[in-house]
C-alpha cells in the first residue's frame, strides 16, 4: 500500500489549515479533490499515476507516481502520428500516397474506416482517422507503412524512455505478441503534450499537423468530460476553452493525456489508471475519478 501512503501524505499536506485560522476560512489548495479521489482508487487496489504541468511557468502542479510505466492503450498512437507528420514535413515519399484497405481482420473495434465503403485513402486522411476516432485499421496500415522501429526511434529522439508504442492493434493478443498496445509514464506524456502545445515536437509544422489531427478527437469521456465541450466540434475555443487530447481505453485501463488552455492559464496533463475491471461499478468509479481531475483542471485554467 505504498502508493496509498504517498497519496494520503500529499493530501494531508494539501488539507492542512494555516496556523491561527479556522479550517473553514482557508481555501482548499488546487487539486486536493483529485488527490483524494485518486487515493481512494489506490486504496481499492488500482494503480494510479498522474502529472499536470503549468505550460507558462513549467511548474509541476500534480505528480502522483508519475514515473511508473502503466498500460496506456491507444495513447501510444500519438507517437505514430508524430512519425507520420514528420515524414510529411520532410516530404519523405513514405508520408504520401494512397493506401488500399486490407482485408478486415486483427483491427480491434475502434474506428470507422472498417465500416466505410472507401477502398483506399491518402496517408494524411488515415492519420486524421487515427486522431479523430482512434481508428485501428488506419493505425495498422500507417504503422506497416512507416515501421515500428522508426516510431520507436522517433520516440527516443524526443527524450521519452518510459513511453512506447509496442505493437499493431489486435483483436486478441497471444503469447508471442506484446501484452499491451502501448505503455507510458504520465510524466513523459504530460511533457509530450506540453511540447506539442509549444510546437516543439520535431518542428512547428510537424507539431501543428499532429495537433490538428488530435483536435478532431471525439472521445471526451474521461478527464475531458468535465470541460463541457462538444465531442464532435471543439477545434476552436469554446467559452475560452481549447483542448487537444488522446484517450486510451482497454479492459482494466483508462488513460488520457492532453493540453488544455483557458482564460487564465494553460496546462498539459496525463492520468492513467490500471485496475481490476471486474464490475461496472468499479469501472464507473475510475471514470468518475478522472472527471474529478478534469473539473480541477478546468478550475485552474479559468
171, 246, 123, 125 alpha-carbon torsion, rounded to 10°? 100
Specify which residues 256 forms β-bridges with: 247, 271
Q: What percent of the chain has pLDDT over 90?
A: 79
Predicted local distance difference test score (pLDDT) of residue 145: 94
Predicted local distance difference test score (pLDDT) of residue 285: 96
Taking each helix axis as running N to C, give the angle between helix 77-89 and helix 148-157, from 0 to 180 degrees, rounded to the nearest 10.
90
DSSP per position, 159-190: T-SS-EE-S---SS--TTS-SSSEEE-HHHHH
129, 131, 134, 135 alpha-carbon torsion, rounded to 10°? 20
* Cβ-proximal residues to 265 (8 Å cutoff; 6+ apart), any chain: 54, 55, 56, 300, 301
What ranges do the domains of the chain cover?
Answer: 2-301
The whole-angstrom separation of Cα 266 and Cα 173 is 38
Mean pLDDT of 240-244: 96
Q: Of 178-182, 220-224, 251-255, give the lowest mean pLDDT range.
A: 178-182
Predicted local distance difference test score (pLDDT) of residue 175: 84
pLDDT over 80 at 157, yes or no: yes
pLDDT over 90 at 163, yes or no: yes
Residue 279 confidence class, pLDDT cut points 50, 70, 90: very high
Per the prediction, the chain carries an average pLDDT of 90
pLDDT over 50 at 101, yes or no: yes
Mean pLDDT of 184-200: 97
User: Edge-to-edge strand order for the sheet containing 182-184?
Assistant: 70-71, 182-184, 164-165
Q: Of 2-6, 50-54, 90-94, give the lowest mean pLDDT range.
A: 2-6
Architecture of domain 2-301: 3-Layer(aba) Sandwich (3.40)
pLDDT over 50 at 222, yes or no: yes
Residue 1 confidence class, pLDDT cut points 50, 70, 90: low
Taking each helix axis as running N to C, give the angle between helix 123-133 and helix 204-214, from 0 to 180 degrees, rounded to the nearest 10.
50
pLDDT over 80 at 83, yes or no: yes
Q: What is the pLDDT of residues 26-81, one digit of tens each?
A: 344 589 999 999 999 999 999 999 999 999 999 999 999 999 999 999 999 999 99
Mean pLDDT of 167-185: 88
Q: What is the pLDDT of residues 256-269, one digit of tens each?
A: 999 999 999 999 99
Mean pLDDT of 139-163: 96
Cα 165 versus chain centre, distance:
13
Say which residue the cell 468509479 belongs to: 285
Amino acid at each position: 500500500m505504498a502508493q496509498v501512503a504517498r497519496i494520503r501524505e500529499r493530501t494531508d499536506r494539501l488539507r492542512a489549515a494555516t496556523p491561527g485560522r479556522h479550517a473553514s476560512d482557508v481555501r482548499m489548495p488546487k487539486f486536493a479533490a483529485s488527490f483524494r479521489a485518486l487515493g481512494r482508487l489506490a486504496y481499492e487496489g488500482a494503480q494510479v499515476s498522474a502529472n499536470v504541468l503549468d505550460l507558462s511557468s513549467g511548474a509541476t502542479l500534480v505528480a502522483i507516481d508519475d514515473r511508473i510505466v502503466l498500460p496506456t492503450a491507444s495513447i501510444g498512437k500519438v507517437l505514430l502520428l508524430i512519425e507520420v507528420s514528420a515524414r510529411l514535413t520532410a516530404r519523405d515519399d513514405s508520408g504520401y500516397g494512397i493506401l488500399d484497405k486490407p482485408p478486415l481482420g486483427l483491427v480491434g473495434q475502434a474506428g470507422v474506416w472498417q465500416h466505410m465503403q472507401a477502398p483506399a485513402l491518402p496517408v494524411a486522411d488515415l492519420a486524421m482517422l487515427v486522431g479523430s476516432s482512434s481508428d485501428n485499421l488506419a493505425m495498422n496500415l500507417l504503422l506497416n507503412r512507416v515501421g515500428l522501429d522508426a516510431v520507436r526511434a522517433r520516440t527516443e529522439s524526443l527524450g521519452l524512455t518510459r513511453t512506447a508504442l509496442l505493437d499493431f492493434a489486435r483483436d486478441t493478443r497471444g503469447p508471442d505478441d506484446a501484452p499491451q498496445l502501448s505503455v507510458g509514464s504520465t510524466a513523459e506524456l504530460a511533457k509530450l503534450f506540453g511540447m506539442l502545445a509549444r510546437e516543439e515536437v520535431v518542428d512547428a509544422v510537424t507539431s501543428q499537423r499532429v495537433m490538428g489531427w488530435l483536435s478532431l478527437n471525439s472521445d471526451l469521456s474521461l478527464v475531458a468530460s468535465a470541460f463541457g465541450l462538444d465531442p464532435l466540434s471543439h477545434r476552436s475555443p469554446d467559452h475560452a476553452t481549447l483542448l487537444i487530447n488522446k484517450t486510451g481505453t482497454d479492459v482494466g485501463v483508462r488513460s488520457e493525456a492532453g493540453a488544455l488552455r483557458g482564460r487564465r492559464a494553460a496546462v498539459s496533463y496525463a492520468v492513467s489508471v490500471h485496475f481490476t475491471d471486474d464490475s461496472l461499478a468499479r469501472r464507473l468509479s475510475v471514470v468518475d475519478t478522472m472527471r474529478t481531475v478534469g473539473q480541477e483542471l478546468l478550475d485552474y485554467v479559468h
